[in-house]
Amino acid sequence: MDDSRTVPGRFQVRGLHNLITERNQEVTPMRMKWKTLITKVAVWILLELILNLLGLDNLADYSEFLFHTRSISLTNSAIT
């Protein structure tokens, strides 16, 4: 059953459902980037919450602190 009809001399009118379905199937690179960004942010927030509840977030922060301190000292020794 085709729910599209033609308006004489102008354009073809489609049903609202078909229009929405077609627009949702069009995946542009910008939409992909937004979906990827939203997914990554959501996963990061979820992991932060889980690690914080388990008390492991502080451990991760401390390891980052140690790593950055070591990289800064290596950079300073390379400069001097």
Grouping H, G, I as helix, E, B as strand and the rest as coil, residue 72 is helix
Cβ-defined contacts of 32-35 (< 8 Å, 24+):
none
- Tens of pLDDT, residue by residue over 6-51, are 555 545 555 666 666 666 566 677 777 888 899 999 998 888 888 8
Q: What are phi and psi of 62, to 5 degrees?
A: -65, -40
Q: How many domains does the chain have?
A: 1
For residue 54, give its domain range.
Answer: 5-79
- Tens of pLDDT, residue by residue over 39-61, are 999 998 888 888 888 887 777 77
Number of helices (H), then strands (E), in the chain: 3, 2
pTM (2 d.p.): 0.42
